[in-house]
Every structure is written in structure tokens, then in C-alpha cells.
Amino acid sequence: MKVLHLGFEDPRMPGAGGGSVRTHEINRRLATKGFHVTVLTTRYPGWQERVEDGVHYVPIGFGTGGNRLTRLVAYVARLPFEVRKRRSTAEVVVEDFFAPFSTMAAPLWTKRPTIGVVQWLHARDKARQYKLPLHWIEWLGVKKHRRLIAVSQGIGDRLKELNPDLHVEVIGNGVDPAVWNNEPGLGQDVLFIGRLEYGHKGLDLLLEAWAHACERVEGNLLIAGTGPDEERLRTAIGDAGLSERVQMLGWLSGERKFRALSDARLLVVPSRHETFGLVAIDALAAGTPVIAFDIPCLKEIIPTGTGWIVDAFDVEAFGDEIALRYSQAGLEQVAAEGRRFAAGYNWDALADLQAEAYRTALTELKNPQNRWPQAADSERA
């Protein structure tokens, strides 16, 4: 099958999120099954068109893509034209949802069977941030889709609220096999890994919680990642008097990331919203217990015995949980349970499910009169 994937982020771009990781992990496995996959992404400094692991990456836009706004505007402006150039050789188009408005309603203009992959569905939060009606764009775009893949049941439920006629399949994310190469360390430090976005990732909440906890914790808070709010975060750390207890690690990938996960004592996920939480499942696979806020998608991947869920956005409770669990006896058992749970998130099995979803989409969407039963429920995978 020939697949044209509207992927937005290139996994090689510094600061790229978990969505681009999922896109590549699925696509490179599809390539081994005989799929021909082309991924259109934004440009970024140092971008290059390439074939990686059998997947053809084509960064589109104008210039070097030196900042987020120019990358976004250029991608949105160029995408319909680039799809039009390539659609004669595509059997299925896959639209990854992306910030800040989720979807460009691709089924309206691709002229090919189109299925969406939803790893981002937070336009309402961005609408409040930017004071623009971005959530209306999201709502209208979701209405134009017939088949979607959601990475969590929580996102699947929200999609059905936006468009009850959708057929939604839930196909989660997997664990990089390289995580298993390191033995759990349960070291001295508390770790955060993620894009440095102040509101979305709850970095402000994390600093408040850490200020409340750090005097009761032997190790430091390590923050790994890059993003648009890096300088704001550095300033906030200094203003809070935490410079001696917080260390910025920069962007980590590959073995450095997996080693950091294995060596940490706890991983903290203070996000205000997530669609899956790939770093949390990676941490469990690495044998590092996770503390997160009680938000729908994270609850799905941090079951009892693998970590701890705190009332949403209660920073004092979050800090108390860090201090309590840091010195808790029996963390080795929690780490072992997390590894057992994470073993079920297998990229190979997930790629098989996604391949079948594409085949079904090709069969059902190429005939506009084809409809599935309205009572079809979301499926968990």
C-alpha cells in the first residue's frame, strides 16, 4: 500500500514531541511489511529530505523553518499543494492532528481515502491561551472525518463527543525496545522529560511542587528537554530560589534518554493535559515509578502498583507525594510491576493493528456510499 502521511513534526527536529516518535515507529515497521510511506513534515534548521528506516521524509514549507510560527504557517500554506502533487501515487492519506487547531479537515481536499491519527486534541486550551476560536476549527475538522485512530480511550471518547458518527479505533503507543537494554537504577534524582511548554506540560506546577518537596528529598530535580519556554523556565527556577536544586539537561534522545530514565528514582509528569504520555510508559519500562496528576489519558497507563496519581493540579499534594515516595521502602517492587505492565505496549503488535486500520479505511472510504454500523463502538488496543 502507498501511504501519504501528513506528519507535521520530523522526529529528528530538536524538541519534537512523542507524536513524531509514534509516527516513525509505526511507519518503519509498515515499511518492512511492504508499505511505501512518504511523510510530509515541517521544515526546521538543518532539515533534509531523506529515507530513514525505509520511510521517505519530505520537509515542506519555506526557508529554514527557524521558529515555530514560520514552520506552522509554511506547513499549513504548502500542505494542500504538496498533497495535490503526490496524491496520484497515494492510496491512503493519513492526517496527524497537530497544534494549535488539531486538524486541517484533510478529507475535504485530499481526494483520497483519508484517516486521521489523533495524538493531539487540545485546541480549546490553545484557544484560551491565544484568545482565538481554535476549538471551533478543531470541531469542524473532526466533523469532516469518518475514521480516526486515537492513541488512548480518553481521546477516543472526546472524539465521539465531537462527532458521534465517527468510527474510532484506539491504538496506543509502544515502548522503544532499547529501553530494556538498561537495568533499573533507582538512583538519587527526580526526573522530568518533555517539551518545555510552561502551561501544557505543567512546568509552573512542577516548580511549585518541587519547592514544597525538595527539602525532604536528597536528590535534585532534573529537567530534560527543549522547547519554546526554556528561557522562561530558567528565569522561574532562579526567581524561586531553586537554582541549586534543579538541573537542566537539555535535549536527550536515544541511549542518553534511556539511561536517564533508568537512573532516576522517580519520573514526574505534571502535565495539565496529555493524549497518551509516552514518556510515562517509557519510564515504567525502564523500571522507574511515575507520579502524575489525575487526568484521563495518564490514568490509563499508570495503573495501581506502578506509580501514583495525585488530585489534578494540587501542587502541595504533588510535592508531598514526591517526598513520600522518594523514601518509600519497596520501590524495587513498584519498579518491577511497572516493567511487567509496560511489556504489553509492543510497537510490532501496534503496527499490525494500524496496518489493518489502513486496509479497512481503503476499502470503506474509497466508496463514499460505504458506511459502517452507526452503533460501532471504540475499540481498545
Task: Return the pLDDT at 177.
Answer: 86
In DSSP terms, 151 is beta-bridged to none
Residue 87 has pLDDT above 70, yes or no: yes
| 152-184 tens-digit pLDDT | 999 999 999 999 999 999 999 999 888 998 888
CA dist list (Å): 326 to 186, 188, 190, 201, 352: 10, 9, 8, 22, 39
| 188-243 tens-digit pLDDT | 999 999 999 998 899 999 999 999 999 999 999 999 999 889 999 999 999 999 99
Q: In the chain, what percentage of residues exceed pLDDT 70?
A: 96
Once rounded to an integer, what is the mean pLDDT over residues 13-20? 86
Residue 378 has pLDDT above 70, yes or no: no
Written as one letter, the residue type at 366 is K
Q: Nearest-CA neighbor of 212 among 329, 314, 331?
A: 314
Once rounded to an integer, what is the mean pLDDT over residues 27-49? 97
Contact 122, 33 (CB under 8 A): no
Once rounded to an integer, what is the mean pLDDT over residues 27-33? 97
Residue 370 has pLDDT above 60, yes or no: no
Output the DSSP codes for 217-237.
Answer: -SS-EEEE---TTHHHHHHHH
Contact 305, 328 (CB under 8 A): no
* Pairing mode of beta strands 190-193, 221-224: parallel
The CATH number of domain 2-174+347-365 is 3.40.50.2000:
yes
3-state helix, strand, coil in the chain (%, to 5): 45, 20, 40
Residue 372 has pLDDT above 80, yes or no: no
Task: Return the pLDDT at 368.
Answer: 54
Once rounded to an integer, what is the mean pLDDT over residues 72-78? 96
Question: Three cell numbers at 54?
Answer: 525505509
Output the DSSP codes for 99-158.
Answer: TTTB---GGGTS-S-EEEEES---HHHHHHHHTS-HHHHHHHHHHT-SEEEESSHHHHHH
Residue 185 CB partners (closer than 8 Å, separation 6+): 262, 263, 264, 287
Contact 20, 10 (CB under 8 A): yes
| 104-130 tens-digit pLDDT | 999 999 999 999 999 999 999 899 989
CA dist list (Å): 67 to 45, 73, 248: 9, 10, 22
Residue 350 CB partners (closer than 8 Å, separation 6+): 26, 171, 172, 173, 174, 381
Residue 295 has pLDDT above 50, yes or no: yes
Distance CA 29, CA 197 (A): 30
Domain 177-342, CATH among 3.40.50.12240, 3.20.20.140, 3.90.550.10, 3.40.50.2000: 3.40.50.2000
Q: Do domains 2-174+347-365 and 177-342 have the same CATH topology?
A: yes
Task: Return the pLDDT at 16.
Answer: 85
Residue 365 has pLDDT above 90, yes or no: no
Backbone angles phi, psi at 116, to 5 degrees: -100, 150
Written as one letter, the residue type at 147 is R
Domain boundaries, the chain: 2-174+347-365, 177-342
Task: Return the pLDDT at 217.
Answer: 97
Return the H-helix or E-strand segment holding 191: strand 190-193
At 192, is the secondary structure helix, strand, or coil?
strand
Task: Return the pLDDT at 161.
Answer: 96
